[in-house]
Amino acid sequence: MSHVALDPSTGVRADGTRSDVAIDVIDLVKQFGHNRALNGVTFQVPRGSVFGVIGPNGAGKTTIMRALLDIIRPTSGQATVLGTPSRNAGPDLRRRIGYLPGELILEGRTSGRRLLAHYADISGPVQAGHVHELAERLGLDLDRQVRKLSKGNKQKLGIVQAFMHQPELLVLDEPTSGLDPLMQQEFLTMVREAQSRGQTVFLSSHVISEIQQAADEVAILRDGRIVTINTVDELRSTAIRHLRLVASGIRPTDLAAVLGALEGVTTLECTLTPAGDAEAVATLSGEIAPFVQAISTLQLKDLMLEEPDLEESVLKLYSAPAHTSSPSSPPSSPPRDVTT
């Protein structure tokens, strides 16, 4: 909860660390025996932003987060959190962080209230009434025994525990896991509110849909490497849209020629409808303007262009050949072509 006044034009503190960066990870490598969990991960999370990490199970999301909390020590590379190197960082740093582990294990034989009171004892100062307020929002009964809570309700306890001291940085590993859609929305609202208060949020998920509404930037992680870092808008602009159109006065082969010439159109199939029209079904990625221009000359009878399917494009990134991955894509780099 520290408040450092400095010149926003420089953003550099006296000790050389950048004050406008909440998390600065440089070439992080973590080796577990023969298994290389992190393979040179580099990224920065600006202060006050919401940064998401997406990756399949085992991609290294949890390992990054644990390294930030000094629960595990990287083999090489370094992570700087809120201006402090995470390795052997003292308790003062962790009081400024709220952490939700991916595999949340809570003590069962106590009430939620008592458990939170204990975590309040060892975290940053908690405002009176704030725990109650958070529990109320999430619809969590604090007087029930923890072991009798459902998975979703245990997750809510974990979320309250991470948010209750209003830390400068929230590190949330799969925060929406186990939450019903209504609670997922409430959680995303909490994330946005935290952001508006100036808190930084670093969260992970194995599906982008859970965090795309909240995240400013999304890093896609695979096999211990960052494949890309993009804004959600950038991802969306490259994402795949399914399209279907019906045009009259054109033969399917001619329609195929028009659409097939466009960049980003794949899996194109043109057929003749029973009514004698030409129907095209395809997927479209990339810019939409050339497509609209191309079809403006057609006599369209029907057009359906779906919302971009981020999930599908992320899945393609998961399975893209490893040699295209770059561990140090700058945050503003254009997204890779995901249609190949």
Partner 1 sequence: MTVVQDSAPTVRRAPLPIFGKVFTDSWRGLVGWALGLAAAAFLYLPLYPSISGGSAMQDIIKNLPPELIKTLNYDQIGTGAGYAQATVFGLIGFVLMTIAATSWGASALGGDEESGRLELTLAHGVTRVQVAAARFCAIAVKILVLSALTFLFVLALNDPAQLQIDLGNLLGTSLMFGGVSLLTASVALLGGALSGRRIGGIAAGSGVAVVGYIFNALGNQSAGLEWLHNLSPYYWAFGSNPLSSGADPATIAAFYALSLVLAAAAALALRQRDIGV
CA atoms within 13 A on the CB side of 59: 25
* 127 touches partner 1 (CB under 8 A): yes
**Least CB distance from residue 63 to partner 1, whole Å?**
9
Nearest to partner 1 of 29, 207 (CB atom): 29
115, with CB counted inside 10 A (0-12, 13-18, 19+), is buried
Q: How far apart are CA 112 and CA 106, in angstroms?
A: 9
The answer to whether residue 324 forms part of the interface with partner 1 (CB under 8 A) is no
Q: How many Cα atoms sit within 13 Å of 36 on the Cβ side?
A: 11
| Residue 200 to residue 64: CA distance in whole angstroms | 16
* Comparison of 114 and 242: residue with beta carbon closer to partner 1: 114
29 in contact with partner 1 (CB under 8 A): no
Question: Which residue type is seen at 109?
Answer: R
Determine if 90 is a binding residue for partner 1 (CB under 8 A). yes
Minimal distance in Å, beta carbon 233 to partner 1? 22
Q: Considering the complex, what minimum distance in angstroms separates the CB of residue 214 from partner 1? A: 18
The verdict on 73 binding partner 1 (CB under 8 A) reads yes
Consecutive H or E run containing 111: none
**Backbone dihedral angles phi then psi of residue 51, each to the nearest 5 degrees:** -120, 125
Q: Is 34 in the site for partner 1 (CB under 8 A)?
A: no
Please compute Rg for the chain using Cα positions: 24
Which DSSP helix (H) or strand (E) runs through 303? strand 299-305
109 belongs to the binding site for partner 1 (CB under 8 A): yes
Q: Contact between 18 and partner 1 (CB under 8 A)?
A: no
Residue 192 or 236 having the CB closest to partner 1: 192
**C-beta of 21 vs 220, nearer to partner 1:** 21
Q: Which listed residue (79, 138, 153, 168) binds partner 1 by CB under 8 A?
A: 168
Q: Which residue has the tokens 């494949």?
A: 227
Q: Judged by CB under 8 A, does residue 143 bind partner 1? A: no
Question: Distance between CA atoms of 99 and 173, rounded to whole angstroms?
Answer: 8
Please tell me whether residue 233 binds partner 1 under the rule CB under 8 A. Answer: no
Q: Does 26 bind partner 1 (CB under 8 A)?
A: no
Count of alpha carbons within 13 angstroms of residue 150, beta-carbon side: 9
**Binding residues vs partner 1 (CB under 8 A):** 1-5, 8, 19-20, 32, 47-48, 66, 69-73, 90-92, 94-95, 97, 99, 101, 103-107, 109-110, 114, 117-131, 161, 166, 168, 197-199
